[in-house]
Amino acid sequence: MIERNPGLMQADLARSLSYGIFLSKAGEALLKELKQIASDSDREATAALDDEERGQLLRLLTKIYQD
């Protein structure tokens, strides 16, 4: 495919091959564990804030991230 289409974009190659990518069972378990670690870390880092302050912080961080 690449030989017949020099300069082919990766996204176009992926579309032409029609392969689906899925997490393995181990990957799913690891992702679940990592999400919990991230959530725990977030709660720990913002423990001094009340719910309103935490919500405001998250809104501001989201605004910064989107710009």
**7: region left, alpha or beta (phi > 0 left; psi from -120 to 50 alpha):** left
Residue-level pLDDT at 15 = 84
- Which residues fall within 8 angstroms of residue 8, CB to CB, at 6 or more apart? 1, 2
Residue-level pLDDT at 57 = 95
CB-based contact 46:54 (threshold 8 Å): yes
pLDDT tens series, the chain, 67 aa:
788 889 999 988 888 888 677 899 999 999 999 999 999 999 999 999 999 999 999 999 999 988 6
CB-based contact 57:49 (threshold 8 Å): yes
CB-based contact 41:33 (threshold 8 Å): no
Residue-level pLDDT at 17 = 81
